[in-house]
Amino acid sequence: MIRWVLFIAFVLFVDFYAFQGVKTSTKSKFVYAFYWLFSIGVLANVIYQLTTFNRSTGMSQAVMFAFGLVILSITPKIIALLILFSEDVFRIVKGVFNYFSSNSSSKVFLEDRRVFVSKVALGLAAIPFFSVIYGMARGKYNYQVIEHTLFFDDLPTAFDGFKITHISDIHSGSFDDAEKISAGIDLINEQASDVILFTGDIVNNTADEMEPWIPYFKKLEAKDGKYSVLGNHDYGEYARWKSSDEKEANFQAIKDIHPKIGFNLLLNNSVYLEKGTDKIALIGVENWGTRFKKAGDLKLASSKIAKEDFKILMSHDPSHWNTEVKVDEHNYHLTLSGHTHGMQFGIEIPGIKWSPVQYVYEQWAGIYSAFGRYINVNRGFGFLAFPGRVGIWPEITVITLRNR
């Protein structure tokens, strides 16, 4: 109950503060009415959705849309608030100076807000407002193919030029546009990679979320196979179940999805990819996270392979690499992860790469290296909670292995 009170208080505080800029910029009562109807309507809707949705199936699309509207409403106002607050600090400092200054002829302690500053605040606030609208309308399906070439001293000769397509975080329960999903799958196939590797979170919570999309994902093609692992959402941890048997049945149904779409699900297990007499080891662990489900067993997953083998590890959560994998004596050459989504919000332009998620995960998007080992953190194919993406687009990674 306390968190609800704090949430409502915060939202209303931001609303009232940002409204000061609106009042300074215009005297239109129509604008005032629209501002408050929209703000209160968004707040009322998210409270209604969160208090009435069916928790047995987890977060619904209606709840995600309500979250999206909250972000659409509150983010621009926070930008405006920061500018207006800066002006208020200046006004107060100036007022205090005038009050104690004998040379001051001003009788007003706190001067009126400047129209120019308020208009600048609203103008800057419009940038995230329209960015969020774009992110919800189109950004969530704005698939980007990101290519990397990685060089290794000990890559078997036959695998020089071997091409991997890495996808992650499908989150099929969030999908709402079959045409866009079909286009994304076609884009994956266009890469004509040797193998497709999927690093978990095929659903949000329940197996039936993926049922309508099985015919689409069955179309994925790779001549040397398709392999997958589980993510934290695949265990049904975030839904409310009537019994442990019901939860276990859902978990089994989620595992059964993978062969239905042609993927070999690796559950703390490994396989060899072979070309002639050369081979590389592909290892898949169950979810291993410092904050979420920890079912992965790296030692068990690697028990069938030799220490000197060239290894590719699939592990959903990049905290696994940062905590355990990168220093393991078995030398996992390349780790593939997802999970972070790049928080679906950030800035990626030449010279700038930023997202709030970087304060939680040290490796959160793209290629990182340590001790001669690499990890790729895929930004995700789907989306969750916020029904959009702003600046951090859905990703299809293509990694080419080369022998140095």
* Residues 189-202 pLDDT 10s: 999 999 999 999 99
Residue 313 DSSP one-character state: E
Are 377 and 343 contacting, i.e. CB atoms less than 8 angstroms apart?
Answer: no
More confident: 9 or 188? 188
Report pLDDT for 104.
58
Query: pLDDT tens across 341-398, in order?
Result: 999 999 999 999 999 999 999 999 999 999 999 999 999 999 999 999 999 999 999 9
Question: In this structure, what token pair is assigned to residue 101?
Answer: 């200054």
pLDDT tier at 107, thresholds 50, 70, 90: low
The pLDDT of residue 105 is above 70: no
Q: Strands 162-167 and 395-403, how do they pair?
A: antiparallel
Report pLDDT for 111.
75
Q: Is 74 exposed, middle or buried (CB count within 10 Å of its CB: 0-12, 13-18, 19+)?
A: buried
For residue 219, give the nearest of 176, 187, 267, 265 by alpha carbon. Answer: 187
Report pLDDT for 7.
87
For residue 168, give the nearest of 341, 316, 380 by alpha carbon. Answer: 380
Q: What is d(CA 397, CA 378) in angstroms, rounded to the nearest whole number?
A: 7
Give the predicted TM-score (pTM) of the model.
0.92
Domain with CATH 3.60.21.10 in the chain: 143-403
Question: In this structure, what token pair is assigned to residue 146?
Answer: 């990101």
pLDDT tier at 226, thresholds 50, 70, 90: very high
Report pLDDT for 5.
86
Q: Is 4 exposed, middle or buried (CB count within 10 Å of its CB: 0-12, 13-18, 19+)?
A: exposed
Residue type, position 180, single letter: K
Mean pLDDT across 231-235: 97
pLDDT tier at 36, thresholds 50, 70, 90: very high
Q: Compute CA 387 distance to the chain's CA centroid, rounded to the nearest angstrom.
A: 11
Report pLDDT for 16.
94
- Determine how many CB atoms are found less than 10 A away from the CB of residue 255: 16
Phi, psi at 399, each rounded to 5°: -115, 125
Question: In this structure, what token pair is assigned to residue 30?
Answer: 């129509």
Phi, psi at 166, each rounded to 5°: -110, 120
What's the chain's average pLDDT?
94
Q: What is d(CA 318, CA 315) in angstroms, rounded to the nearest whole number?
A: 7
pLDDT tier at 220, thresholds 50, 70, 90: very high
Select the CATH number that applies to the domain covering 143-403 from these four: 3.60.21.10, 1.10.3720.10, 3.40.50.10210, 3.10.129.10: 3.60.21.10
Question: In this structure, what token pair is assigned to residue 402?
Answer: 């080369």
Q: What is d(CA 168, CA 338) in angstroms, rounded to the nearest whole number?
A: 6
Report pLDDT for 108.
65
